[in-house]
Amino acid sequence: MLNQRQFDALYTWLQEPHQCHAQPSKNGWRYRCNHTFQHTAVWLRRQGLEVESHLTHLRALGITCDCSILSTLIDWPTS
């Protein structure tokens, strides 16, 4: 599983314009998302990490896509 430093790097990367493009709005944050783990999977592969086990872990917690990571998680879930 990811450690906190890796999760922080993923979280920051997902916020960038070519990924989920996190932007503040009047009602919180707004994201551009295709409601998949497309960007998370790319990041995991680039880090040499196993994609499916990480995505399975996220899905088990009710996280459904890249923007859901940004809108739901602050830390990487360890349990």
pLDDT at 77: 66
What tens digit of pLDDT does each residue of 9-62 get?
999 999 888 888 777 778 777 777 889 999 999 999 999 999 999 999 999 989
Q: What is the Rg, in whole angstroms, of the alpha carbon atoms belonging to the chain? A: 12
